[in-house]
């Protein structure tokens, strides 16, 4: 299950100014690494972009960008600029998440931002996502920057994001296993009842009944085994799904 976000922002600057600024965003007061890593004084947002609601550009002061590098860049034959930027950010989680996922606390988040700048059409498209902590959560963001339809001196940003977690698959596996085990226990319970009722009602438990009890026990064992296998399979699928999505080859 994926959480979807759709947003729209406007910058009161022309497209060429915005595209140039895109490469010079870091550091800025909202996201540079502060020596000592202490709290920030809140500034009033001077720029709507900095106060946007994108899941990758969250609340002011909550994330620090530690490093920024271009790791690929080329100009295509049709004069578009393709770039890939690697960012590392601190991984700030709420305390309950730190307790649940201690292994993730120590590691920074690595984020890739791919972009296509098309000066002829005056548009820029970006796609940004995290390449580690992926088993816990993946956030993908796609932005299209273009000239504002009302004011050609302004730039608008259409932003979509998808937030997903393979933990959702794990909880499904736990539920499936729980239900299957419960069903096999019900079978055992009913057979047990039949057996003891027959006994109490003075009937020697017939051979059939004793055998049935044994069969029920065997069947219950098989059901539980099948359930465990299914649950394992679901959990594995969920865990590898995120990795596969990140590791596709061309």
Residue 84 interacts with another protein (CB under 8 A): yes or no: yes
Q: Which of 43, 48, 73, 221 binds another protein (CB under 8 A)?
A: 73
Cβ-based burial of 147 (10 A; exposed 0-12, middle 13-18, buried ≥19): middle
- Distance (Å, whole) CA 166 – CA 78: 39
71 binding another protein? (CB under 8 A): yes
Does residue 145 bind another protein (CB under 8 A)?
no
Per CB under 8 A, 50 contacts another protein: no
- Report residue 171 as tokens: 């909880």
- Does residue 16 belong to the site contacting another protein (CB under 8 A)? yes
Q: How many whole angstroms from its chain centre is CA 226? A: 30
Q: Which of 41, 94, 103, 120 binds another protein (CB under 8 A)?
A: 120
81 binds another protein (CB under 8 A): yes
> What token pair was written down for 136?
């816990």
Tell whether residue 162 is a contact of another protein (CB under 8 A).
yes
**Alpha carbons 31 and 68: distance in angstroms, whole number:** 12
Burial of 141 per CB tally in 10 Å (0-12, 13-18, 19+): buried
155 lies in the binding site for another protein (CB under 8 A):
no
Our CB check for another protein shows the closer of 97 and 112 to be 112
Greatest CA separation found in the chain? 95
Q: Per CB under 8 A, which region of 54-62, 68-76, 143-151, 190-198 contacts another protein?
A: 68-76
Instruction: State yes or no: residue 154 binds another protein (CB under 8 A).
Output: no
Q: How far is the CB of 107 from another protein (least distance, A)?
A: 11
106 scored as a contact of another protein (CB under 8 A):
no
Q: Which of 8, 12, 32, 99 binds another protein (CB under 8 A)?
A: 32
By CB under 8 A, residue 4 contacts another protein: yes
Which residues bind to another protein, rule: CB under 8 A? 1-4, 16, 19-20, 23-24, 26-27, 32-33, 65-71, 73, 75, 79, 81-82, 84, 86, 88, 110, 112, 114, 116-117, 119-120, 125, 127, 129, 131-132, 140, 142, 160, 162, 245-250
């Amino acid at each position: 299950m994926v959480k979807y976000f759709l947003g729209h922002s406007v910058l009161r600057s022309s497209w060429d100014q915005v595209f140039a600024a895109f490469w010079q965003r870091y550091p800025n007061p909202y996201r540079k690494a502060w020596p000592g890593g202490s709290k920030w004084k809140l500034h009033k947002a001077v720029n709507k972009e900095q106060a946007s609601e994108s899941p990758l550009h969250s609340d002011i002061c909550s994330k620090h960008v530690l490093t920024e590098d271009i790791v690929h860049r080329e100009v295509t034959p049709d004069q578009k600029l393709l770039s890939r930027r690697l960012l590392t950010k601190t991984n700030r989680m709420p305390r309950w998440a730190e307790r649940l996922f201690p292994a993730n606390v120590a590691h920074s988040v690595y984020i890739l931002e791919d972009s296509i700048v098309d000066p002829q059409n005056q548009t820029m498209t970006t796609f940004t996502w995290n390449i580690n902590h992926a088993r816990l959560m993946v956030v993908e963001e796609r932005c299209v920057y273009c000239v504002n339809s009302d004011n050609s001196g302004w730039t608008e940003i259409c932003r979509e994001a998808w937030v997903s977690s393979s933990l959702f698959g794990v909880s499904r596996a736990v539920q499936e296993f729980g239900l299957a085990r419960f069903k096999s226990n019900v079978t055992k319970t009913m057979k047990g009842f039949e057996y003891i009722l027959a006994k109490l009602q003075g009937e020697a438990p017939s051979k059939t009944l004793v055998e049935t009890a044994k069969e029920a026990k065997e069947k219950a064992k098989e059901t539980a085994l099948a359930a465990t296998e299914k649950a394992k399979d679901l959990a594995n699928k969920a865990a590898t799904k995120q990795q596969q999505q990140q590791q596709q080859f061309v």
